[in-house]
Amino acid sequence: MGEPKKDDVDLSAQDRWDATGAEPVDTADQAESATGEGAAAPGSEAMIAELTAERDAYKDRFLRALADAENARKRSDRDRREAENYGGSRLARDLLPVWDNLNRALAAATDEQRQADAALIEGVELTLRELGKVFEKHGIHMIRPELGEPFDPQLHEAMFEAPVPETRAGDIIQVMADGFLLHDRLLRPAQVGVSSTPG
């Protein structure tokens, strides 16, 4: 038969690429990629571990953010309640001298003045009563200790001590000014005199 003609010779991969203009493909690479075997398996395990760690980190951050949001909600609710209950404490404290002065005015009025100026005295009493209703409406409660009651440093302020017969040390012997609570907070302690007589 003789030697093959030049035109019949099988072209090499490089020659085929030159002839077609397409990049030659290595058949071994094709087979490896088709089976999915080779260096991809160890890399995929590392990738799974990395993704798992990343997922756990995101989950932890999410739970922390959720807890922070819940704490912020509780804090804002508490602040809102405190603002509602105690926001007017400065105004209430400033109104206490008005209460004291109205009480002093009524206490200073003699029977003759009450008869001569009955309308004026009644107006002062009505004003005092109305102020008491406003206090009650806004959670302001009076502390009016009784004579002989034991001194309580949480609610009372001792203005003086004096030995008084038939009393025990620490008993209240005089009330100089009423005290006031705003809900459960002390606005002003009751100002009292205390006995120093030994028991």
Q: Is the pLDDT of residue 5 over 90?
A: no
The residues, any chain, with a CB within 8 Å of residue 141's CB and separated by 6 or more, are 135, 180, 181
Angle between the 118-137 and 89-108 helix axes, to the nearest 10 degrees? 150
Helix then strand then coil, in percent of the chain rounded to 5, is 55, 15, 25
pTM of the model: 0.60
Q: How confident is the model at residue 180 (pLDDT cuts 50, 70, 90)?
A: very high
CATH 3.40.710.10 fits 140-199, yes or no: no
pLDDT of residue 3: 53
